[in-house]
Structure 1
Amino acid sequence: MARPERITVLGAGSWGTTFAKVLADAGNDVVLWARRAEIAAAVNETRSNPAYLAEIQLPSTLRATDDAAEAVHGASAVVLAVPSQTLRENLAGWQPLLPPEATLVSLAKGVELSTLKRMSEVVGEVADVPMEHVAVVSGPNLAKEIAAEQPTATVVACPDHDRAVALQQACSTPYFRPYTNTDLVGIEIAGACKNVIALACGMAAGLGFGHNTMSSLITRGLAETTRLGVALGADPMTFAGLAGLGDLVATAMSPLSRNRTFGERLGRGETMSQAQEAAHGQVSEGVKSCSSIRQLAARHGVEMPITDVVHRVCHEGLAPAPAAAELLGRERKPE
C-alpha cells in the first residue's frame, strides 16, 4: 500500500479526534466521522471538537461529516476509533461501505466480551478481510497530551510489514513518532490488559498507597500480561516495548487516564454507579475488559491474580481494601 492520500477516522471521541489531527498534521487528506451532526459541524466551522477537545485547534486539512458513506468513499485507510465493546456492531453497519483494499486500523484496546476475540480478530471477521489488511495503533498515547503536541511514540502493528510502514509514514509528525511491529497478538494483549492494571493502580491510589505499591502493581501486572500474551503466541519482547511497558506506565500513573481515575474513585469508596456518573460518559475500557481477559486467561490456564481481583471489585462486590490484602496474602514464590 502506498502512502494513503485520503484517510478516514470513524469516531470523534478524544482519541479519534486526536489521531485525525495527527494524520492531518502529517500531510494527509483526513475525514473525521462523528455520530452527532453538531460535532461534525463544529469541527468544520470552529476547528474544534467541543465535546472532547474544546481547547485544541484542529488543522484546516481535517474535515468532518456525520455521513459514514461520504466519510469512507475513496479512503485507502479507515481508522476505527470506537470503544472495544461496540466495535462489532458499528463495523457491521459500515462494512458494506468500506473500500475493498483499504487498510483497516483499530484504535480500540480490549477483548470482546461475547467471543473473547482481540479487536483485530473482530475487524477481520466482520469486515471479511484478510488479517494482512488489519493494523492496530497502540502505545503511551494519552489523547490530550498528543493533541497538545507533546512528544510521544507509538507502535503501528500489522502482519503485512509494507502496510505497517505505509501507515507509519502516514502518521509521522515532529511530535508523534511511530515504530512498526508485526506482533498483533502481543500489541493487542498489552493494550487490553494495561487498562485493567491501571484500574488496580487507581484503586491503590484511592486507598492512599504510594509509589512502591504502584511500582509493584505495574511490574507484576506486566508479568501476568506477558504470561497471557506468550500463551497466545506473542513475542515476549513486545511487552518490554512501547505498547507494553510504555503504555502501561502512562495509563497506570496519569490522572489523564480514564481507567486510573475510575479505579481511584473506587478506592476512595465510591460505588460503581457513582464512578460511572463521575466519568460523564467517558468509557473506562478496563471495567468490561477485565471480565473477558479473565475468561481468556482461564481458557488458556494462565494465572492473572491482579486481573481477577479487579474483575471481582468491578462486578462481584469485592471492596478494594480486602482485594489489596488478598493480593499481598498470596502464596510466596520466586519472581
Structure 2
Amino acid sequence: MSNLKQRIIKFQIKGSNGFYLDDLGHTSTTQARAQAKEDACTTKKATSKLAIDLEIEKNAQVATTTATLQLTGLTIEQLNPLTSEFNRFNYDYNQKHPSIQDWAATIDIQVGYDSVIQPIFSGDVVIAELRKGPPDLMLQLTAMSNYFARSQFDFVQLEASLTFEAFANKVGEFLKVEKVICQTDYNNQVITNAGIGQATGDQLLVELNLMFYPFVTAWIDNKTLYVMQLDTYHLDAEQGSPVLINEFLQIPQYTERGASFEVMYDPRITVAKQVRLQSDLNPYPFNGQSFVLYLCKYALSTRNNQFKIQCEAQL
C-alpha cells in the first residue's frame, strides 16, 4: 500500500439513550445524514477535525476483540455523556451487577485508504477516560466485541443432543452476533447435554472453546462468531490463494510457532487468513512458506505516522 494515500478512520457511537457521536463531530443522526447527503453531491468530502489514534488486538485464542480509541479535539459537550457513564467506577459496579445497566453504547469503526474503507471493529463501549485536559482534550475509549451480550445472564435450554455446529449456532444466537462461521472437522459430531441451565454468554464461549481444546478455538470479531481449527485456512476470496506479502516494515522473524512480521495496513490481512511470505532480507526459510495468522495488532492514526499491523502466524 502506498503511504501517499489518504488514511481514513471513521467511527460511529450510538447510545441506547439517543446519544450519537461520529468522527466528524456530529452529535445527532440528523446531522450525519445531512453531511452524507452533502458529500454525495460533491467530490470534496468532509474530513474529521479530530485526531484519531486506534489500537485493535484480534487474537484467535482470546474470545473477544478489544479496541482502544483516542480522540483529541472533542468539546466538553461531546465528552461528558461518555465519561459520566462509562467510567471505572461504573465499569466495576456493572461487573458485579450485570443486570443493572443504565444505558449502553455501541461503536462501529471503519478503516481504509482514500474512499475505500471497510469495517474493522464493532463492539460495546466499556470505559471512557479523560487522558488529557484543556485546551486539547483527549478521550480514550475502550471497547470490546459483544461485551454486554457476553455478560448477560439468562436461562439456556438446548436439545438433549445436537451437533457441534448446531451448538455453535445456538451460542452465536445467544451472543446476538450477525453471523457464525464454524469450520472444523468436528461440525457433525453429536454433543450430549451441551449446556442446560443458567449461563452467561462468556460461560457458553468457554464451553465452546473447551469441547475440542486445543484443536478448536472460538472468538468474536466484527459481529461474527468464528469457531475454527487454526490449521483451517481462509483463502483470499478474489484470488483463491494465500495472500502474498512481500513488503515489510521490519525484517520478518521466525518464532516458536511460526513467523512474526510487521506491515502497512492491508484489509486482506486479518486473523485466520492464510498468507505467504516473500522476504528479500530474510529469504530462507520464509520464501514460499505459507502461514495462518492467529494474532493481529493494529496501530492506526490519522495524524501520526503509524498505520500498521503487527502479525503473528503459525505454520
- TM-score interval (norm. to shorter): under 0.3
TM-score by length of 2: 0.28
TM-score by length of 1: 0.27
Larger radius of gyration: 2
Q: Which has the higher strand share?
A: 2
Q: Which has the higher helix share?
A: 1
Q: Relative contact order (C-alpha < 8 Å, sep 6+): which is higher?
A: 2
